């Protein structure tokens, strides 16, 4: 049985992620934890020091949030009736967001966090929102990011971008194998280089390991030359009809080139394609 954490701010974006999660795991026994966090600042924590202030928290934050969580549970029951594979629990806290997520991951032995994201408008934007960015970089738990325009369909093609500079262990990569076997999907390992160059000995070893690891499943290796990694991935996503992008957070520098940009133009994979972030 899987334990899935679903952070929600009750937006359309977070509902989209919940819908995706329930469809994705429709045939899997799961416990879903719906989590809403009312964030506190250091100042507000210092101000809330007596019983009266805690009563204010109850009235201002806790009661309305619990009401919204109950409404969300009812909405799920209406949209996804009679799935005996799934059970749900609602969680609410008034605390720092990342601290709360870490606590929930540890206490509930969370296997996967699934959350939605929405990019800001205009040319200058982050591919993922601040909460999502914090989770995938600061919480060591596998996370599936569901962009605003992503809708569930059975996974057929998974892109796995890698610069082959890092070794990925069997346990780290296992979630990709689970998805491959669940949907009879194929994994497409993508290496983007800024100029024509041969792999060094360490890169060759890491590539060989991946080839051996995916040997019993549908897979292929692809090499593209482009000075801008995000443009190469966009082209690859479109040409191969990619349904999901998977990456290991261990290689943070490479990871950030793909997910975090100050200026992004004509790059749509961040709003259309789910992104699986794997942690060791």
pLDDT exceeding 90 applies to what percent of the chain? Answer: 61
What pLDDT, on the 0 to 100 scale, is given for residue 245? 94
What pLDDT, on the 0 to 100 scale, is given for residue 258? 73
Residue 123: count of CB within 10 angstroms of its CB: 9
What pLDDT, on the 0 to 100 scale, is given for residue 193? 87
- Give residue-wise pLDDT tens across range 235-274: 999 999 999 999 998 866 676 677 665 455 556 676 789 9
Distances (CA, A) of 79 to 19, 82, 154: 9, 10, 19
- Give residue-wise pLDDT tens across range 101-143: 999 999 999 999 999 887 543 333 444 556 777 888 889 999 9
pTM of the complete model beyond 0.85: yes
Residue 171: pLDDT above 50?
Answer: yes
- Sequence-distant (6+) residues with CB within 8 A of 179 are 155, 158, 185, 244, 246, 276
């Amino acid at each position: 049985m899987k334990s899935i954490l679903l952070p929600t701010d009750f937006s359309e974006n977070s509902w989209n992620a919940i819908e995706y999660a329930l469809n994705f795991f429709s045939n899997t026994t799961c416990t879903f934890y719906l989590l809403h966090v009312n964030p506190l600042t250091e100042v507000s924590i210092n101000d809330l020091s007596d019983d009266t202030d805690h009563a204010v928290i109850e009235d201002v934050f806790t009661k309305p949030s619990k009401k919204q969580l109950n409404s969300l549970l009812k909405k799920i029951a209406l949209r996804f009736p009679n799935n005996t594979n799934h059970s749900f629990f609602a969680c609410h806290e008034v605390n720092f967001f990342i601290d709360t997520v870490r606590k929930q991951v540890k206490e509930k032995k969370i296997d996967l966090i699934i959350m939605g994201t929405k990019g800001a408008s205009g040319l200058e934007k982050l591919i993922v929102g601040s909460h999502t960015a914090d989770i995938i970089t600061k919480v060591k738990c596998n996370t599936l990011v569901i962009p605003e325009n992503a809708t569930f369909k059975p996974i057929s093609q998974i892109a796995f971008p890698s610069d082959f500079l890092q070794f990925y262990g069997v346990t780290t990569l296992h979630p990709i194998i689970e998805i491959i076997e669940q949907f009879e999907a194929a994994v497409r390992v993508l290496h983007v280089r800024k100029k024509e160059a041969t792999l060094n000995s360490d890169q060759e070893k890491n590539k060989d390991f991946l080839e051996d690891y995916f040997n019993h499943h549908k897979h292929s290796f692809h090499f593209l030359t482009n000075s801008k990694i995000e443009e190469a991935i966009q082209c690859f996503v479109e040409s191969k009809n990619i349904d999901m992008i998977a990456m290991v957070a261990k290689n943070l520098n490479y990871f950030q080139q793909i997910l975090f940009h100050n200026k992004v133009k004509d790059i749509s994979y961040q709003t259309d394609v789910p992104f699986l972030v794997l942690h060791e």
